[in-house]
Amino acid sequence: MHRVAAVLACLVTGFALTMLAQEGHPLTGTWHGDYGTSPTQRTPVVFLMHWDSKKVEGKVNPGANSIPLKAATLDPSKWAVHLEADMKDSAGKPMPMVFDGKLDNVGSYNRTITGTWTSGTQKGDFKLTRD
């Protein structure tokens, strides 16, 4: 009976470790959501991020007109996330934006990042959910 229990414990532990290894860095993945200055003034946004074993890299709104992330950091002691990118304004000029938030539901695949964003004098909130 003890052998069966030991074998089952090893199998469960091995399976759990394999699943954790596949999860990777908490920011890796495709994140979709929106940001805005009020509940009715929202702009959709998509972040594509990955860990290159040294830092988080990524793009904002991947596609033909994607914007590279200038900075993407995670402070795991507080699950604080900091993202920077030079978005484009309506005239196509660079518009530096900073997103500061908190990573929630860390144990879930569909974790979220919520917080505030700033661009010049504009400020508002944002929410991202990992697909």
129 phi, psi to nearest 5 deg: -125, 135
At 97-128, the pLDDT tens digits run 999 999 999 989 899 999 999 998 999 999 99
Start-to-end CA distance of the chain, whole Å, equals 43
Cα-Cα-Cα-Cα dihedral sign, residues 104, 96, 30, 124: positive
**Class of the 26-130 domain?**
mainly beta
Give the tens place of pLDDT for each residue, 26-80.
999 999 999 999 999 999 999 999 998 899 999 999 988 899 999 999 999 999 9
Reported pTM: 0.78
Which pLDDT belongs to residue 1?
A: 57
Burial of 101 (0-12, 13-18, 19+ CB in 10 A): buried
Domain parsing of the chain, residue ranges: 26-130
Identify the burial level of 58 via C-beta atoms within 10 angstroms of its C-beta, where 0-12 means exposed, 13-18 middle and 19 or more buried.
buried
Length of the chain: 131
Task: List, for residues 8-31, the tens digit of each pLDDT value.
Answer: 444 444 444 334 444 578 999 999
Q: Compute, in degrees rounded to 10, the torsion defined by CA atoms 91, 94, 95, 96.
A: 170
